[in-house]
Amino acid sequence: MVLVNDVRVGYLIFEFNNLNHLFAGGPAEEFPPILSLPEPAARFNHGVAWDCLTIAVSGNLVAAVAADDARTLLCDTGMFFAMSRLPHRDPEGAHHFELLLRLHDTEEEEEENRRRWAWLPIPDPPLLSSPEWYFSACFVAGAHIWVSICGEGTFTFDTARRRWHKEGTWELPVMMGQAILVPDFLGDSRQLLFGFCSKEEGGHFCAVDMEARPPAIIKSWPEARFSRLGYRPVLETASLAYFGGGRFCISMLIDTGYIYNYKPFVTNNMTNLVRLTRQAITFSAVEVTPELQLLIRKDEWYSMPLGSTLCSMYNI
């Protein structure tokens, strides 16, 4: 799904229910046609409490991040896990981590289908040395939430036992955002984390050996960054979905050029001329072999509405 902020009508959600056709046989087009987005599946007016969310999915767990970096939610069918993206900005005494739990309902409440929930504060990860810490990476794997904290190390939170465990003083070598753990990659028992390495390392699609200590990037694929097309990818928008069998779909925003647009008003007897970026949302199907070779399948491109901005992309 894609969440777009259209200044004219509000926030739009676009659904892409089936991208399996991108893995079909035949060579990829060097310059695929830029298609129009489908009709939006939902629309939200501007001014909602969480104006814009970034969402990631792993199994039955869903992660949602507020646009202003104020809070992150991780949830499954019965529990929400909330955490601050930038804890040093929180007011003094604020809780950085909370669980939203379902309470035991009375018989009357069950009959009337009224459900009660309550936020349960949980302590910060243990032994943090600085009050101004912030996250460098985060992903969800089953019932565990992995977070790397700059200068502090990597911790896991067990949502069933509600306990923190420090994995080590190292940090995960992937960017903050969506990453996917594949515990038995192609049946050979390897624990591989797929994501995007840091900007300093190029922001490439990569595989991380999670059994190594510290976890290390064992392969990265610069060719998955659309450099072959000559367009500039917006790394912060990269999103990832796993289809099984070594098949991945990489979503990203691409700058395809500029156009000039006249604003509908005049100042100082002159019409304002504004340069706007023309952008496209891309879905790139790739396949990783047991030898960690990357096979590029097909791309599909969709033009963004003029004057709109991309909030997030997430894949289920």
User: Is the separation of the CB atoms in 96 and 124 below 8 Å?
Assistant: yes
User: Is the separation of the CB atoms in 50 and 66 below 8 Å?
Assistant: yes
Of 128-132, 212-216, 255-259, the range with the lowest mean pLDDT is: 255-259
Q: What is the mean pLDDT of residues 290-313?
A: 82
Q: What is the pLDDT of residue 64?
A: 55
φ/ψ bin of 127: left (φ > 0), alpha (ψ from -120 to 50), beta (otherwise): left
Q: Encode pLDDT of 121-171 as tens digits.
A: 878 888 787 777 788 888 888 788 898 988 899 999 988 888 999 999 999
Q: What is the pLDDT of residue 136?
A: 85
Q: What is the pLDDT of residue 271?
A: 56
Q: Encode pLDDT of 291-300 as tens digits.
A: 999 998 988 8
Q: What is the pLDDT of residue 113?
A: 57
Q: What is the mean pLDDT of residues 230-252?
A: 83
Share of the chain above pLDDT 70, in %: 66
Statement: residue 245 has pLDDT above 50 = yes
Statement: residue 49 has pLDDT above 70 = no
pLDDT band, residue 208 (cuts 50/70/90): very high
Q: What is the pLDDT of residue 48?
A: 43
pTM: 0.77
Statement: residue 51 has pLDDT above 70 = no
- How many CA atoms lie less than 13 Å away from 91 in the CB half-sphere? 1
Statement: residue 278 has pLDDT above 50 = yes
Statement: residue 218 has pLDDT above 80 = yes
pLDDT band, residue 53 (cuts 50/70/90): very low
Q: Encode pLDDT of 7-21 as tens digits.
A: 677 777 788 877 888
| Mean model confidence pLDDT for the chain | 76
Q: What is the pLDDT of residue 185?
A: 94
Q: What is the pLDDT of residue 221?
A: 94
Q: Encode pLDDT of 81-124 as tens digits.
A: 666 766 666 667 677 777 766 677 666 666 555 667 777 787 88
Highest mean pLDDT among 45-59, 177-191, 208-222, 268-282: 208-222
